[in-house]
Amino acid sequence: MTFKPAKWPRKLRSQEWFGGTSKDAIYHRGWMKNQGYPADLFDGRPVIGILNTFSELNPCNAHLNDLAERVKHGVYEAGGFPVIVPVFSVSESGFRPTAMMFRNIAAMAVEETIRGQQMDGCVLLVGCDKTTPSLLMGAASVDLPSICVTGGPMLNGHFRGEKIGSGTHLWKFSEAVKAGEMTAEEFVEAEASMSRSPGSCNTMGTASTMASMAEALGMALSGNAAIPAVDSRRRMMAQLTGRRIVQMVKDDLKPSDIMTRHAFENAIRTNAAIGGSTNAVIHLLAMAGRVGIDLTLDDWDKLGRDVPTIVNLMPSGKHLMEEFFYAGGLPVVIKRLGEAGLLNKDAITVSGKSMWDEVKDVRNWNEDVILPTEKALTQSGGVVVVKGNLAPDGAVLKPSAATPALMQHKGRAVVFEDIDDYKARIDDEDLDIDETCVMVLKNCGPRGYPGMAEVGNMGLPPKVLRKGITDMVRISDARMSGTAYGTVVLHTSPEAARGGPLAVVRSGDMIELDVANRRLHLDISDAELAQRLAEWKSPVERPNGGYAQLYHDHVQGADKGADMDFLVGCRGNAVGRESH
């Protein structure tokens, strides 16, 4: 594929606001000039919106104002007119009921901000999990030239001589406290060691995964994903991104030119190679829907099945994002995919070059971090999609984070009707459960929670943990944090709140998980299942107004990316009428 740049100069979209001497043009220019902008900035330079998700209540993004200024430098250097535009910022660690509920409203707000204001191109300044997909979704629906730059991961955590990863060790230490292996005081002491610098999670959690997905899709400059937040090269990347977006506007290089079917295939295989978060499944399905790419769960299983997981990072491996960057970062992984015949080499990136041209000359500087294929964490990485009478529309599992011995397992269901039921009963010593059981959590999907919270990696019962058991098969319609681990079946579709078969599982039922054969089976007859479903009544009430009601009424299932049905598709960037 070869991208053919548009001829320059051409009339820019921003000139619909700023061009000429009409009353409307003077209205727009005059008000902008109260900030001290010189007149020549309005004479046809590309106006670049720096869509900034800075927020002090979003700790992963709290350092983005500095990067925004660096982007401005780059835009000015390339002859553009930069303007910082604050946009909806979704924090995984702070939003209730869950950040995922607000990804779609953030995408909708970003889309209308771009469409409704005088921009010719956009820099998407993101960090925490949902900010990356929400801004990419919004930009894709408008289809103005856009480029992503992420805030970068935190520095490594250190506690008592051990490297600790944000999120991953939170779950490990929490289980250790329950098992009596760690005191509550030690847990609090470890807290200060987990997040010791600005940035997002330092594991291959969802934030780092989505930064990698942006780069693998070609929507960020090569090398962007892994640079630590406080490394000077992160600032340099922001400045180079500012320079590049100006030329993208001149060339009219748009998301629809970059986010092609081939690009999504590259991203899915990259996710397998890095041991990326299961959350990437939902986000890429939603992003593909915005550019009209027919991407399905089956594509995830088919494309990722034969890709080895070669990035030795927590939660699947032992290192953290700092080491990944020093080893050469994502370009090394993408090059490895290309050498194995698993890359669409001619996919265009925001640089205007092909993906292969960007990575063909990079080197791996640490083969304990980016492993040789023969030493891969798992030879069949990616995201496994299992189906059956318990998940007719599919459910997902991450093999690199699972226990091999549990990948084929049959056990007695212990059912929790919702997250409150789980919390009320899980620590009860009289709970009828052992390590052979299958833990089932209902009503935590997109509509059920609402928002599909990261509760799928249910902590094990203390009496099981005290035996030294660290994993059990767990099944739910929820998500789990990309920093989490375990043999966890997630995103079960249709979800319980929509009357999917998960809704009628009962404690004592036998459930079979067979990953090799992609099967998830509830061991009851078809007639019994049909009768239970006919008798089922939804425990989830429709919210009374506001965004919650809009979300409830229009959110799609996890198997379709949990976007809202009316947001799917590209609506373009036409300039609307006005009158002053």
Residue 234 · residue 198 · CB < 8 Å: no
On the CB side of 566, CA atoms within 13 Å amount to: 7
Which amino acid, 37? Y
Neighbour count for residue 96 (Cβ, 10 Å): 9
What's the rounded Cα separation, in Å, for the pair 266 and 41? 39
Positions of the chain with pLDDT lower than 70, given as ranges: 1-2, 576-580
What's the rounded Cα separation, in Å, for the pair 269 and 362? 19
What's the rounded Cα separation, in Å, for the pair 145 and 246? 9
CA distances from 228 to 63, 65, 232, 280 (A): 12, 16, 9, 21
pLDDT for position 193 = 83
What's the rounded Cα separation, in Å, for the pair 157 and 155? 6
- Give the model confidence (pLDDT) of 393-413 as tens digits: 999 999 888 999 999 999 999
What's the rounded Cα separation, in Å, for the pair 391 and 506? 15
Neighbour count for residue 502 (Cβ, 10 Å): 29
pLDDT for position 249 = 98
Indicate the SS3 state at residue 477. coil
* Residues pairing with 214 in the sheet: none
What's the rounded Cα separation, in Å, for the pair 295 and 280? 13
Alpha helices in 275-396 (DSSP H): 279-290, 297-304, 321-327, 330-339, 355-359
What's the rounded Cα separation, in Å, for the pair 476 and 283? 18
Domain boundaries, the chain: 45-155+201-302, 158-194, 384-544+550-559
As given in the structure block, the two tokens for residue 464 are: 């099981």
pLDDT for position 577 = 67
- Give the model confidence (pLDDT) of 238-296 as tens digits: 999 999 999 999 999 999 999 999 999 999 999 999 999 999 999 999 999 999 999 99
Indicate the SS3 state at residue 127. coil
* Residues pairing with 396 in the sheet: 385, 490
Indicate the SS3 state at residue 200. strand
Kindly report the backbone phi and psi dihedral angles of residue 380, in degrees, each rounded to the nearest multiple of 5, phi listed first.
Answer: -120, 90
Residue 210 · residue 149 · CB < 8 Å: no
Indicate the SS3 state at residue 329. coil
Q: Which residues contact 572 (CB under 8 A, 6 or more apart)?
A: 142, 143
Domain range 384-544+550-559, its CATH number among 1.20.1090.10, 2.40.40.20, 3.50.50.60, 3.50.30.80: 3.50.30.80
| DSSP assigned state of 579 | -
pLDDT for position 579 = 59
What's the rounded Cα separation, in Å, for the pair 557 and 350? 31
What's the rounded Cα separation, in Å, for the pair 396 and 418? 20
Residue 135 · residue 53 · CB < 8 Å: yes
What's the rounded Cα separation, in Å, for the pair 337 and 358? 13
Residue 460 · residue 469 · CB < 8 Å: yes
| DSSP assigned state of 440 | E
What's the rounded Cα separation, in Å, for the pair 78 and 7? 17
Determine how β-strand 121-126 pairs with β-strand 146-150: parallel
What's the rounded Cα separation, in Å, for the pair 374 and 407? 21
As given in the structure block, the two tokens for residue 60 are: 């992963």
Kindly report the backbone phi and psi dihedral angles of residue 519, in degrees, each rounded to the nearest multiple of 5, phi listed first.
Answer: -125, 135
CA distances from 578 to 28, 33, 181, 364, 575 (A): 11, 20, 66, 55, 9
Q: Nearest-CA neighbor of 404 among 299, 517, 516, 530?
A: 516
End-to-end CA separation in angstroms for the chain? 45
Which helix (H) or strand (E) segment holds residue 451: the answer is none
* Residues pairing with 499 in the sheet: none
Indicate the SS3 state at residue 322. helix
Kindly report the backbone phi and psi dihedral angles of residue 136, in degrees, each rounded to the nearest multiple of 5, phi listed first.
Answer: -65, -35
Q: Which residues contact 537 (CB under 8 A, 6 or more apart)?
A: none
Domain range 45-155+201-302, its CATH number among 3.40.50.1980, 3.40.50.2300, 3.20.20.60, 1.10.530.10: 3.40.50.2300
pLDDT for position 395 = 98
